[in-house]
A and B are shown apart, each in its own frame.
Chain A
């Protein structure tokens, strides 16, 4: 039995005639300790998929099983890192993390909780900024706080919804390493949603493309057989990497073109010619 299972998920917003289908026929299973990346175009329903897994929304049809139990609402077992950080701007870095830790471990003493907070803030190397508010931090620092907040709750699975999407390339690379580092320490199950194929290949064990919506569904999976820890520069020369990368990009390009050709359906136009105004009045 897989750790996380999605069986025949169908999700639509609205009801009756206004129903817009977002996801359909989604089947996915993730094993314990695995790092899976889902790659897709923007607007293909990635965030909806994440919210289904973390329990913020429910599927219209089908079921999400976590450790064999259907997912009902959110749970501290599944930590979430949101796309837009979602830090509370009126709390400091420490307070943002503390709030999460306190909810996750309600029985621990305040000193213990503070120690956990300090530990995780240190892990994302933000100790000097622990008393700052999010607006005083750069985008990368904010996302690191969000990472610390999610991890400090000691979730069994980490769900990341385009966590690095809004960051510049340099910060992005650094944070990728940091996340991999933290993941490597205790090999928690991780699900990464991204629109960057290279990021997926660098970080994940498996890549699954999400075919764009409406009616988004998962494509065939690609295994990434690269040794960990991976090195970005070496990876570029690895024939295995090149092959996988090309295969994924080709697949994504194909479905992109498919979508375009669907749109450029030919319409039957009435056979009309404009009136000849020039010669008419001669």
Chain B
């Protein structure tokens, strides 16, 4: 029997169940119970978002007033009443040079978001025309055995997001390829377990900053002959090392705690070691391995920002740091935009992992 793939099923599968009921609302096949649950799932979160924005607006306003009053007071004390009046007028006129520097309001953040998008469009257009212009030249250069000319202009906000995603996935893959095999070996052998235990316990709580410094020390020496920018390499390796522990511990635990019934089956069927690992041990520990990978991906995304900032590797972390250093009028608002983007991407990554997990692993509660 083939099951049809409906919007509702897909939505439930990726954990966005309310989309299904939203569709039902428009098609009009909701009964009272379902309508209630629709309200709870959709309207309540929406209201709480509005409440959050309202509180934020009020908070930002009062912070703005505190900062403005302090500035005017200071001008009055230092430079006299005329300067204070001038400053007050300047602030009220909204001139950018004298605005108080504090938490931006929701509308300012929205404006910054739009300006960042505009900026991206300009840069994208510029890049496209550059590529078009250099296409013919590059062909000649490549034919002559020289490197092609690449666009070296400033990256836009959207470019930074993709750079960050690239770093985080490189780091995640590194963590995956180290932690899963190592976790399997540790889980299978009590000897390896006791020999690696101290290592895991000591290195697990180490801060991302220290991991970065450690990786920097090693990679800098290894790439001593290379003229390439090593910041990407350093940052993705650091991200991998910071985030791999959850997967390592979970894999080892999953592998060492396979249900005794399954092990007995493997023994009674006389499965070889290879068969036992791939047919019994690994499938039964997949749910735990994926829980580990999910934590790894969210940790990777979290530490990425700090590591990019330290490594000066292009990406959202560096964007935040540069905006903070920049101190322009809309810098604070841009930082908040970045904060939301980071949060939303983190949420989407988590959902992505959940979807893959649902896809590959059997339901433990229904087993046996």
Residue positions of A touching B, CB distance < 8 A? 54, 56, 73-76, 79-80, 82, 84-90, 99-100, 103-104, 133-135, 153
Contacts and interface: CB of A to CB of B under 8 A. Distances in A.
B265 A88 contact: yes
A8 to B, nearest CB: 25
A88 B366 CA distance: 11
Interface stretch (B45-53, B67-75, B278-286): B278-286
Contacts of A74: 267-268, 270
Interface string B347-368: 0000000000000011100111
B264 A89 contact: no
16 contacts: A54-B268, A73-B267, A74-B268, A84-B368, A86-B261, A86-B262, A87-B368, A88-B265, A88-B280, A88-B283, A89-B363, A89-B366, A90-B283, A90-B284, A133-B362, A134-B367
B269 interface: yes
Contacts of A85: 368
Given A84-B261, A84-B368, A56 B267 contact: yes
A135 B268 contact: no
A86 B264 contact: yes
A135 B269 contact: no
3 A-B pairs closest in CB distance: A135-B366, A89-B367, A86-B261
A80 B266 CA distance: 12
A100 B269 contact: yes
A87 B275 CA distance: 16
Nearest to B264: A56
A6 to B, nearest CB: 19
B249 to A, nearest CB: 23
Contact of B270 (A86, A103, A133): A103
Contact of B363 (A54, A76, A135): A135
A58 to B, nearest CB: 13
Contact of A75 (B262, B270, B286): B270
B148 interface: no
A166 B261 CA distance: 16
Nearest to A106: B272
B136 to A, nearest CB: 56
Interface string B247-274: 0000000000000011011011111000
A193 to B, nearest CB: 15
B47 to A, nearest CB: 39
Interface of B: 261-262, 264-265, 267-271, 275, 279-280, 283-284, 286, 361-363, 366-368
Nearest to B259: A86
Contact of A103 (B269, B363, B368): B269
Contacts of A84: 261, 368
A99 B368 contact: no
Given A86-B264, A90-B284, A100-B269, 17 more contacts: A56-B268, A74-B270, A76-B270, A79-B268, A82-B264, A84-B368, A86-B261, A86-B368, A88-B279, A89-B363, A89-B366, A90-B286, A103-B269, A104-B269, A133-B362, A134-B367, A135-B363
A87 B363 CA distance: 14
A135 B269 CA distance: 21
Contacts of A75: 270
Given A56-B264, A87-B368, A88-B262, A103 B280 contact: no
A61 B91 CA distance: 94
A86 B266 CA distance: 10
A121 B283 CA distance: 23
A85 B367 CA distance: 11
Contacts of B286: 90
Contacts of B270: 74-76, 103
A239 B363 CA distance: 51
Contacts of B268: 54, 56, 74, 79-80
B265 to A, nearest CB: 5
B356 to A, nearest CB: 15
A88 B269 CA distance: 12
Nearest to A159: B268
A103 B265 contact: no
Contacts of B264: 56, 82, 86
Contacts of A134: 367-368
B362 A89 contact: yes
A133 B363 CA distance: 11
Nearest to B261: A86
B257 to A, nearest CB: 16
A82 B259 CA distance: 14
A51 B281 CA distance: 21
A73 B266 CA distance: 12
Contacts of B271: 99, 103
A86 B268 CA distance: 11
A73 B366 CA distance: 31
